[in-house]
Amino acid sequence: VHPGGVPMCNEVSTYETPKGDILAFIRSDYPGNAMIGRSTDGGKSFKCEDMGFYGLPLTAVRLPDKRILLVYGYRRQPCGVRARILNAEGTDYKESKEFIIRDDNGQGTDVGYPWAVVMDNNRVLVVYYITSPGGDPRRHIAGSIIEIEPQK
């Protein structure tokens, strides 16, 4: 998986595309960029590569228009939760634009483990854990409702 090194990958989230490929979104600590694996044989084998951006861990949900919403924790300043929208087959991850859902984690860099649920045609609830701004170290579960315009 990693050029010239032993992979340090964990916390895999899987997703099946409309054409039947299985995608594995992988947390990696080399150099911290997200990894993606793609299987075209029902999960018997995967070809993996660096996605070209930082984020951990990742989870994907299918939007009503078949695109993929990929959400992930962002543990670099400013810490919070971020996302990208990928095409239905997940092939455009290097070109996809990152957007910030939250960037106000209050204590250190411990934030994340987001999960997304489609509410209707243009709203998605993203839940995660985060600390409050102002120095309170206690973590809590929070959520953000984001609006995504359907692709025409």
Tell me the CATH number at 102. Answer: 2.120.10.10
Could you read off the pLDDT of 44-87 as tens digits, one per residue? 999 999 999 999 899 999 999 999 999 999 999 999 999 999 99
Indicate whether 39 belongs to any domain. yes
Indicate whether 4 belongs to any domain. no
Q: Which domain holds residue 84?
A: 9-147
pLDDT at 43 over 60: yes
At 7, the pLDDT band (50, 70, 90 cuts) reads low
**Ranked by mean pLDDT, which of 92-96, 128-132, 134-138 comes out on top?**
92-96
Closest CA to 51 of 92, 4, 8, 6: 92
Closest CA to 128 of 118, 115, 119: 115
122 contacts 131 by C-beta, under 8 angstroms: no
Indicate whether 132 belongs to any domain. yes
At 108, the pLDDT band (50, 70, 90 cuts) reads confident
95 contact partners, CB below 8 Å, separation of at least 6: none
Indicate whether 19 belongs to any domain. yes
pTM for this structure? Answer: 0.91
The pLDDT mean for the chain works out to: 91
17 contact partners, CB below 8 Å, separation of at least 6: 23, 88, 89, 90
- For residues 6-16, average pLDDT: 82
Domain total of the chain: 1
pLDDT at 1 over 60: no
**Residue 8 DSSP SS3:** coil
AA identity, residue 23: L
Distance CA 42, CA 40 (A): 6
pLDDT of amino acid 31: 66
Indicate whether 65 belongs to any domain. yes
Indicate whether 152 belongs to any domain. no
Indicate whether 69 belongs to any domain. yes
Indicate whether 85 belongs to any domain. yes
Specify the higher pLDDT residue, 76 or 2. Answer: 76
Rg, the chain, Cα only: 16
